[in-house]
Structure 1
Amino acid sequence: LVLIGAVPPIMVKTPANPGGIPIEVFDGLRKSLADNRAQFYLDFPSGPFYGFNRPGAEAIQGVIQNWWRQGMMGSAKAHYDGIKAFSETDFSDDLKIIDVPTLVMHGTDDQIVPIADSAPLSAKLLKNGTLKIYEGFPHGMCTTHADVVNADLLT
């Protein structure tokens, strides 16, 4: 099993997860999606998803346009509801019962799923987890650094 830039154990800030992201951030994502879905699907990949908002980063227009295409093809309701699902679901108990070897891969510059409150915590909850950290890689590292990620997956 492999978890890449994954949200577990839980993203939203709660009393049990004080390092989580405030619910207002996810409310803002839902509002942006509802207000102008097409623009949301351009802005998100143009900035934090792939790290294209970082100094010196070169945005890859084909990647941004493909993200837009995929977003526009999907259900607006499912995407809206998906924000709640990925941000507010606590996967802690699920992680604890996984007993197969699990590779947890995460970039240190993931602006979508901050590493401190995800990958290391997930690896600790897994019975047979291995944590692999990628210095400076963004959330969309499977696209921006496919050569490195794919080589590690094959290994």
Structure 2
Amino acid sequence: MPFLKLRDGAELFYKDWGNADGEIVTFSHGWPLSSDNWENQMVFLANKGYRVIAHDRRGHGRSTQTWDGNNMETFVDDLEELFKHLQVKDAVMVGHSHGGGEVTHYLGKHGTGRVKKAVLVCAVPPLMVKTASNPDGLDRSVFDGFREAMHKDRAQFFLDIPRGPFFGFNRENAQVSEGQICSWWRQGMATSFKSAFDCIRDFSETDFTEDLKRIDVPVRVLHGDDDQVVPIKISGLKSVKLLQKGTLKVYKGGSHAIHNINVDEVNNDLLEFIRG
């Protein structure tokens, strides 16, 4: 399995699939998952002739479980190291949830020299938590509840999330997939407790407003209007207004995991945007 040794000695696991000479599409996963969460999109695009790259964020999946550095500044610097190593250029970056924050801050900090387009899928920007300047955000007690649940019984909490709001399986008449639930739990439990715990603050309290304003390439925002984890009102609808070249597609009835549930629709939307 391919690993990149980073500047501090940590090893970053990554997948590099498809046509080695094809256009590049990169994927950043959400909390507390791994690159495995993008497998449907990666296989689809690889079969279309693209080179698809995804990594397990440090502390997640198969990457080194570092004690420190579980924050957005470190994550995007790791990603820049990976892009240099793999000679990424003219890429399309795709990020889901916390990974959408990673894409946004990467572009805000490291610029768009390697990237021609980006896609934010049910992503956390611009800011999730409620503050004086962000009164529509979620109360801090929501995220305190996450931390309390992790301390009490992480394994059960990591079953409750996919059985409920993540995939929208708590909605009436939802077609529940035990496979999706098990896959989410497996990925989540492979992430270190410390990383998963620290990242609750990272995805909820990081303000991506200025990053969004700096991005000068086209960005497609995909968001479900029934996202119970990152409500569209505080995220997608705001992000598209801050982006210089942002466009929005709303998935009617879509959950937080549209790329896992509305697989064909998301795949085709990605392909259309990449080709366009």
Whether TM exceeds 0.5 here: the answer is yes
Q: Equivalent residue for 1:67?
A: 184
Deviation by residue 1:25-83 (Cα, 9 ceiling, x = unmatched): 00001111121111011110000000000001121001000100001111111001111
1:113 is displaced (CA, Å) by 0.3
In the other structure, the counterpart of 1:24 is: 141
Q: Secondary structure at the match of 1:133?
A: strand
**Equivalent residue number for residue 41 of structure 1:** 158
Distance 2:186 2:242 in 1: 36
User: Which one-letter code corresponds to 2:241 in the other structure?
Assistant: K
Partner residue in 1 for 2:261: 144
Matched residues in 2 for 1:70 and 1:34: separation?
A: 18
Does residue 9 (structure 1) correspond to residue 129 (structure 2)? The answer is no
SS at match of 1:36: helix
Task: Report which stretch shifted further, 17-26 or 29-38.
Answer: 29-38
Question: Aligned residues, how many?
Answer: 155
Give the Cα–Cα distance (whole angstroms) in 2 for the partners of residues 144 and 99 of structure 1.
30
| Alignment TM-score, normalising by the size of structure 1 | 0.98
Instruction: Give the TM-score of the pair, scaled to structure 2.
Output: 0.56
Secondary structure at 2:264 match in 1: helix
Output the amino acid matched with 1:76.
F
What code does the residue aligned with 2:190 have? M
Q: Please, which of 159, 174, 178 is the counterpart of residue 57 of structure 1?
A: 174
Alignment of 1:95-106 (within 5 A): 95-106=212-223
Deviations along 1:103-151, one digit per CA (max 9) or x if unpaired, are 0110000000000111011011111001111110000111011111111
What secondary structure is seen at the aligned counterpart in 1 of 2:134?
coil
Please give the root-mean-square deviation of Cα atoms over the aligned residues, in Å: 0.6
**Which protein is bigger by CA-based radius of gyration?**
2
Distance 1:116 1:66 in 2: 28
In the alignment, what sits opposite 1:92? 209
Q: Which has the higher strand share?
A: 2
Could you list the runs of 5+ residues in structure 1 that have no partner in the other structure?
A: none
* Deviation beyond 2 Å, 4+ runs, structure 1: none
Aligned AA for 1:45? P
Q: Distance in 2 between matches of 1:20 and 1:141?
A: 22
Distance of 1:8 and 1:45 partners within structure 2? 22
Alignment match, 1:115: 232
Paired residue secondary structure (2:250): strand
- 1-structure distance, mates of 2:136, 2:169: 25
CA distance in 2 between partners of 1:130 and 1:20 (Å):
22
